[in-house]
Amino acid sequence: MFSGRFGSEPGGLNSHWEAKLRLEAAGTPLFDITPSNPTLAGIDYPPGIVSLLARPEALRYHPNPRGAPDARRAIAAHAYSRGRAGDPDRLILCASTSEAYSWLFKLLCEPGEEILVPSPSYPLFDDLADLEHVTLVRYALGHRPGNRAYWEPDFAALRNLISTRSKALILVNPNNPTGHVLDQAAIDGYLALAEAYGLALIVDEVFSEYILQAETRCAPVRSQGPLVFTLNGFSKMLGLPQMKLAWIQVEGRPDRVESALDHLEFIADAFLSVNTPVQAAAADLLAQREPIQASIRARLHANLKASWEWTVGSRTQLYSANHPEAGWYLLLHVSTPLEAEVFAQDLLERFHVHTHPGTLFGLGKEWPLVASLLTPETVFREGLRRIALWTEERTDA
Ligand SMILES: Cc1ncc(COP(=O)(O)O)c(C=O)c1O
């Protein structure tokens, strides 16, 4: 009855998730160190932020498929820091960056054509690609020995994955979940590949405002040649995923940019999915960026500190955490003979700690678990303490 766009059967639960529901139903207190929704994680928002949506303009519907000009101007002028100022005429607004991906897949790919995605990275790509009948080809991000924070592609290996069906390369910069930020040499490498093989670049910058190390800079991917689609939105930039406002900025050779914008406008016009109240309030919402980001950053840094203390407390390096340069995620290394999924489920069932198995993001054995630095601090510390107990139980046995 239904189309073949569903890679996995909707409604199915994996055993980890079933175990979580079972424990919750039994009233067992869980230490969930995965939350990525800032609105439910005790982040402080400026009072009155919701009242910004109640404006008389919000009652009139004058849809512009590219997004309301005032909202685009506000985003171009205020949304970016560190030299990222945008051009309102090169922006297309959409409801979320997930929607931006689906529009770009429609724009660029015939069914069965390929998009190259980094591994490890964000797990939702599979579903987004399945829904558009697009095939994902994963390219590995390797890390330099002795430098666990440094994850970059091997361009020779990446080149070998490009075929006549390849249409675009995705860069997640900063990466979710490794927290790695691309350096200029890597950005230039991607641009050169895109130019040589006629590929577009899709650059996901949703975590670019959350730099965690003083010396790290997240450089924009600028292009006068290959098409570059840069994605961002209120979901992470303002910690307001429910406001449903995101955007695609288009760069590259001017004639390609104009044509890409016209095609994206056609797609956007078919849905007109961005709501009027959020567009009318976009400039005022963006003006609240500093206090919201400060509250989120304080949480990220507090949990990073907790992770360093935890690592120092490890006997013979049984467990440790990475040092992300940016973003909301933390990789956990735990010495375990178990497969990541089995380990994560055992931690949940016996120690009541909910984590993501690293395999969900395409991580190898070195990083069996992924945690969220947005977790309320006391829960985060207790979750880490319990993971340490798991390893001590094994070594003492
Ligand atoms: C790297 C990355 N890109 C995109 C998204 C989707 O964000 P949105 O809420 O704008 O769809 C997420 C969400 O976690 C993400 O981690």
Domain ranges of the chain: 15-44+290-396, 58-287
Residue 235 Cβ inside 6 Å of ligand 1? The answer reads yes
Give the global pTM. 0.96
- Could you name the CATH architecture of 58-287? 3-Layer(aba) Sandwich (3.40)
Residue 245: strand, helix, or coil = coil
* Residues 6+ away with beta carbon under 8 Å from 43: 239, 292, 295, 296, 299, 374
Contacts 24+ apart (CB under 8 A), 56-64: 57/276, 57/280, 58/276, 58/277, 58/280, 58/281, 60/276, 61/276, 63/272, 63/276
- Give yes or no on whether 15-44+290-396 and 58-287 have one common fold: no
- Best residue for ligand 1 mutational test, from 209, 229, 235, 248 (most atoms within 8 Å of Cβ): 235
- What is the pLDDT tens value at each position of the chain, 397 positions in all? 999 898 888 888 889 999 999 999 999 999 999 999 999 999 999 999 999 999 999 999 999 999 999 999 999 987 665 556 689 999 999 999 999 999 999 999 999 999 999 999 999 999 999 999 999 999 999 866 565 556 889 999 999 999 999 999 999 999 999 999 999 999 999 999 999 999 999 999 999 999 999 999 999 999 999 999 999 999 999 999 999 999 999 999 999 999 999 999 999 999 999 999 999 999 999 999 999 999 999 999 999 999 999 999 887 789 999 999 999 999 999 999 999 999 999 999 999 999 999 999 999 999 999 999 999 999 999 999 999 999 988 766 5
Is the CB of residue 174 less than 8 Å from the CB of residue 203? no
- Could you name the CATH architecture of 15-44+290-396? Alpha-Beta Complex (3.90)
Q: Is the peptide bond before 177 cis (omega within 30 degrees of 0)?
A: yes
Residue 335 Cβ inside 6 Å of ligand 1? The answer reads no
